[in-house]
Structure 1
Amino acid sequence: MQPKVLFFCNFIFYVSTENSELSDACEEKCQFKDETITSSSIKNWPTTCESVCGNLYLTSETDLSENQLKETFGNLKYLIGSLKVVHTNITSLSVLPKLQTYYCDEEGLIIAHNPMLTDIKIMEYWYPEVRPCILHIYNNSKLDSTHLCENFYVIQQDLDVYGNARDCGCSNVRLHPSSLPFYRNCTRITGGLRGVLKISEVSDQTDLSALSNLKSITGNLEVYNTELQNLSFFKNLQTINGQLFQEFSITSIHDNPKLTRLGLDSLTTLIPMEKGFSIAIANNHPDFCVSTSEFQLFTKVGFHTEQFEATVCRNLERNDGQKVCYLEKLSTLDSNCQHIIGDVIINNDNENDVETLEDTIMIYGSLTIEHTANLKDLGFFKNLEQVGTLSKSLGFNDKAPVIRFLSNEQLQNLTFPRMRYASFSVFSLEKQGFVEISDNSQTLFQHRNDCMQYQTRLKSSEIKYNGHSCLQLEPALDSPAVERSARCEIVIISILVSCLVQIFSF
């Protein structure tokens, strides 16, 4: 496959499947094959070319003055290769006066261990050809990098800045064993569009006490490629505050083979609410699970996820003291259970035991009420706020309901007295599990308005009433104003859900 050079918005982007193909993008006369710049290799640099294919490494072996380097690289605009400046005595990156783009490989851009370097302002005009790119800028003892940390185009990249005369403070933090000592006093970490807080290459033996003071994160959190068993070192973390757009509100926990728990016991707030938060959990320990407190918090914001490889932990204790129970039989369930793990099925055999559910706040599973003979309403769910599932039980698939009312003889009122949050399914496309209402003896909705209003109250993405959506039901003939208002509400909700699904899918 031939590499391609793409022009977009005055920037050049290089696309290649193999680094070995980089040279194919340039004529032979514009290729540089020596990599490290020395007084000997510089003779091979194609000084007349604006685009050069090859790596450009300035190192301790670079025995040229800054004026010589600036003269040599005076025409270079597009470096189709990687760039490193390490262990040099240069004072300024203006030795590359016209550089606009460079190829970013897995190592990223590296500017490190340059004791005389004080000026990197020109980096504000550099753009990586592969994004996002990790910008490693560290251990440059005279460098003030703060202006770079605040530059809009730079903070779209993934910053790894530490050990300089001045760094980014508690912004755009990438934590690994080398950078940890520089972030001991952060109570709040903020950042740009890509970085914020990323943790990798650490284990339970690593001293992570620097993070024990952290109370809030504004932006993305990523924990990956670690040997950690949990994240309990975030013992005071209370808030993860995402940005306005979903792309910048991502918590990603992946590729941690020993991780079995989150351990975010102090976390109480996720922002933004209403499906603006994205959580990805994948490729951790096979026994990885989230606590009822964590899952309850996630579902309250109606989070988006493409991967959520987790179960609900079997730990029945919560910091707030609320009681957690595993459901085996409704008749043997403790009457004061506030959180129930398991699928709740109410039928003709156990409908007389529904009083045991009066204290239930959340069900971690599905809810089915079917084939009951005497139930008339849901008044026994006095405190139920939400139903959410992490399992594919009951034949769940991408369009399976989380709440079902099937073939009940006397049931005529489906109102949950205190339902505050939408039912939730990790396996539903919209993540708001739809509600199925079928084959009940009583007429539960007289017309479309009733169905729409119920759907709005329940915050459900969809109601299926005897196989039909609310909009497919007959409208009320005597209340056009109510009809228009209800329909407007449901159409707006449907449009928003559809738009968000498209954004998340993109």
Structure 2
Amino acid sequence: MNYILSLLIIGFIHLVHSKIDKDLQTFFKKNKCDQKCTFESGNLTFGTIDLFPSSCETVCADLQLDQRSNLTENELTSVFKNMKHLIGRLKVLNTNYTSGKFLSGLESIECDGNGMLEWGENFKLLEIGLINLTSIICYRVDIWQNFNLTRLNMPNLKILFYPWSKYSLPVKESYIALTFLSTDFCITTNEMATTINVTDYISYKYCEPVLDDKLCKEPVKGCIEIFGDLEITDDTDLEIMKTIEIIYGSLIINGTDIKDFGFLESLKYVASLEKNMEAIIVENNPKLNNITFPRLKVPRPEKLFKIVLCFQKIRSTMKSSIRFTNNNEIISLDPSLCINLRKSMKLDDEYIKINDDNCSEFEETL
């Protein structure tokens, strides 16, 4: 009986693994993977290195580097020197590598529906170092327990999303998570901007940026991005605000005579990393009677590879991302204002506070 049970268990395990392999093979087939450029061994080690299609620019693989890989960073650099596009999955786990620059030639990664990009428990890793990577088309990017990691160093990354409808798959939540890294870890403004179309789990600081005519610490004519908190008061020149698209910090509107947010006509994204601080704080504005934002409103669909994307608009380390306090009393008396704001930004109820109340508490009065 035990023998039969063992056979059944082994058969079940084999079936599960076969199913996973079959799914990945189907994905490879859809992407027209060249058999000569497919690495079927998965784990790259000294014993499998000769099987890797090192002459191919596009490689299809469930590629994993781990404690068994016993290959130096120089050896990996040589193996991967021609690879520009990876179709499948990539995991780098429990290694002694200090940098991922052995993959610096990589320009794109496209995962299957079960695939992800994962770097975990690489305790000597200082940077990811994928300096030429421009797109990650994976539903999940997980970078965790790399305790000495201080930088991503992925300066050219522009695209991070997963096109579920392209592969007729059930939609899951796409996200990037950066957890349990060095206390000195920081993320650049360019890297943060790339996460705009996915849910992110990032609670670290910004790297000090290189300022130019477009990225400014103080709003001046022509600025498109603001680094740091942007406070708008009664003395602020609202005309200058019309060109600002992104705030890497919090938006604070305090003590003004504004009636609406029309002067923020270009603002698309507010990303605060400050602990215990909302992304948007609006207080002491007695004439304010319209609380929706022109471009932070309904996410503007954008097309990429014929897939429609909807971008998230604000992010904060706090669950309550938007706070209104002591403004025109109509904001508290008219529940539709809060409800319309919540719906227009597709936020959960607890994301918006008006005098410490959620939208649902106003909705009950309708």
Q: One fold, TM greater than 0.5?
A: yes
How much has 1:240 moved relative to structure 2? 1.5
> Over residues 417-470 of structure 1, what are the superposed CA-to-partner deviations in whole Å (9 max), with x where a residue is unaligned?
222443211342xxxx53222332352477444432222223333333344333
Q: Are the counterparts in 2 of residues 124 and 151 from structure 1 also a CA contact under 8 Å?
A: no
Q: 1:173-212 to 2 correspondence within 5 Å?
A: 173-175=63-65, 176=69, 178=71, 180=76, 182-191=79-88, 196-198=90-92, 200-204=95-99, 208=102, 210-212=103-105
Aligned equivalent of 1:343: 229
Distance in 2, matches of 1:451 and 1:337, equals 30
Percent identity among equivalent residues?
A: 23
> Over residues 89-115 of structure 1, what are the superposed CA-to-partner deviations in whole Å (9 max), with x where a residue is unaligned?
xxxxxxxxx5945xxxxxxxxxxxxxx
Residue from 324, 343, 357 that aligns with 1:456: 343
1:310 aligns with 2:204: yes
Q: Are the counterparts in 1 of residues 52 and 79 from structure 2 also a CA contact under 8 Å?
A: no
Aligned equivalent of 2:43: 160
Q: 1:40-119 to 2 correspondence within 5 Å?
A: 50=2, 98=7, 100=9
Count of aligned pairs: 310
Aligned equivalent of 1:264: 154
Q: Are the counterparts in 2 of residues 283 and 309 from structure 1 also a CA contact under 8 Å?
A: no
CA gap 1:311/1:185 in 2 versus in 1, 3 angstroms: same
Q: Are the counterparts in 1 of residues 273 and 317 from structure 2 also a CA contact under 8 Å?
A: yes
Q: Are the counterparts in 2 of residues 404 and 435 from structure 1 also a CA contact under 8 Å?
A: yes
TM-score by length of 2: 0.69
Aligned equivalent of 2:21: 150
Distance in 2, matches of 1:207 and 1:413, equals 50
Aligned equivalent of 2:141: 250
Aligned equivalent of 1:213: 106
Aligned equivalent of 1:403: 280
Residue from 125, 128, 131 that aligns with 1:235: 131
CA gap 1:99/1:473 in 2 versus in 1, 3 angstroms: closer
Q: Are the counterparts in 1 of residues 264 and 294 from structure 2 also a CA contact under 8 Å?
A: yes
Q: Are the counterparts in 1 of residues 291 and 337 from structure 2 also a CA contact under 8 Å?
A: no
Q: Are the counterparts in 1 of residues 147 and 181 from structure 2 also a CA contact under 8 Å?
A: yes
Question: Which runs of 5 or more residues in structure 2 are unaligned?
Answer: 26-40, 54-58, 164-170, 300-311
SS of 2:236's partner is: helix
Distance in 1, matches of 2:213 and 2:127, equals 23
How much has 1:127 moved relative to structure 2? 8.1
Amino acid at match of 2:155: D
Aligned equivalent of 1:95: none
TM-score by length of 1: 0.52
Larger deviation, residues 162-171 vs 276-285: 162-171
Aligned equivalent of 2:265: 382
Residue from 310, 317, 322 that aligns with 1:426: 317
Q: Are the counterparts in 2 of residues 275 and 304 from structure 1 also a CA contact under 8 Å?
A: no
CA gap 1:214/1:405 in 2 versus in 1, 3 angstroms: closer
Distance in 2, matches of 1:414 and 1:384, equals 14
Distance in 2, matches of 1:276 and 1:369, equals 32
Q: Are the counterparts in 2 of residues 410 and 442 from structure 1 also a CA contact under 8 Å?
A: no
Q: Are the counterparts in 2 of residues 338 and 361 from structure 1 also a CA contact under 8 Å?
A: yes
SS of 1:357's partner is: helix
Distance in 2, matches of 1:202 and 1:454, equals 47
Aligned equivalent of 1:31: none
Q: Are the counterparts in 1 of residues 86 and 109 from structure 2 also a CA contact under 8 Å?
A: yes
How much has 1:126 moved relative to structure 2? 8.4
> Over residues 115-161 of structure 1, what are the superposed CA-to-partner deviations in whole Å (9 max), with x where a residue is unaligned?
xxxxxxx9972889xxxxxxxxxxxxxxxxxx89825699xxx9525
SS of 2:252's partner is: strand
Q: Are the counterparts in 2 of residues 335 and 358 from structure 1 also a CA contact under 8 Å?
A: no
1:437 aligns with 2:324: yes
> Over residues 27-49 of structure 1, what are the superposed CA-to-partner deviations in whole Å (9 max), with x where a residue is unaligned?
xxxxxxxxxxxxxxxxxxxxxx9
Pairwise CA RMSD: 3.9
Distance in 1, matches of 2:220 and 2:318, equals 29
Q: 1:19-38 to 2 correspondence within 5 Å?
A: none
Aligned equivalent of 2:362: 473
Distance in 1, matches of 2:327 and 2:101, equals 60
CA gap 1:458/1:149 in 2 versus in 1, 3 angstroms: closer
CA gap 1:339/1:253 in 2 versus in 1, 3 angstroms: farther
Residue from 325, 330, 341 that aligns with 2:216: 325
Distance in 1, matches of 2:337 and 2:330, equals 11
Distance in 1, matches of 2:92 and 2:179, equals 16
SS of 2:43's partner is: strand
Amino acid at match of 1:409: P
Distance in 1, matches of 2:209 and 2:251, equals 22
SS of 2:342's partner is: helix
> Over residues 331-388 of structure 1, what are the superposed CA-to-partner deviations in whole Å (9 max), with x where a residue is unaligned?
xx4333222222223334xx3333332321111222222222x222222212111112
Q: Are the counterparts in 2 of residues 310 and 390 from structure 1 also a CA contact under 8 Å?
A: yes
